[in-house]
Amino acid sequence: MAVREATEVIYVARADGSRSVRMVSAVGRRLPAHCTAVGKLLLAPLPDTEIDALYPPGVALARMTGRGPDRPEALWQELVRVRETGLAHEHGESNLDVVCVAAPVRDGTGAVVAALSVSVPAHRWGATPRPRWERWARDGADALSTALGLRG
């Protein structure tokens, strides 16, 4: 689970499954928001003007692995998909061997206050249908949202 500060995400909690995944995320670590599923999820609800201020058009975006958006226009395309689906994905953008799907954690007012992701080794991503990984991310985020007072 992560929160956003400017153009970075800060990981605030982590739980490992029965099979360990070597991750670049760790509690307290900061990563570029545009390189992570949680970051894209946290950027998507922002007003367009705020996203433009954080990622000025024409300015190159640094990539961690050579994958993912390398310019604001490419990031915008991903944020539009996040806004449409309510989920964000990352395919090897912060770690070449990992795929992530993120869902929003909301407070009692419905505002997105954090993002929860499910991270899977890339070789296992296709072994389980994509909707199942997405459901697990949504279910976890929904449980946290309920704990924060979200109803309905």
CATH of 2-147, one of 3.30.450.40, 3.90.1150.10, 1.10.730.10, 3.40.50.20: 3.30.450.40
Phi, psi for residue 95 in degrees, rounded to 5: -155, 120
Instruction: Render pLDDT for 99-150 as a digit per residue (tens, 0 to 9).
Output: 999 999 999 999 999 999 999 888 777 766 788 999 999 999 999 999 999 9
List helix spans (H) across the chain: 37-43, 48-54, 72-85, 122-125, 130-147
| Residue 20 binned pLDDT confidence (cut-offs 50, 70, 90) | low
**Per-residue pLDDT at 24 exceeds 80:** no
pLDDT grade, residue 19 (50/70/90)?
low
List of residues 6+ apart from 61 with CB closer than 8 A: 32, 34, 55, 69, 70, 71, 72, 74, 75
Residue 48 pLDDT greater than 90, yes or no: yes
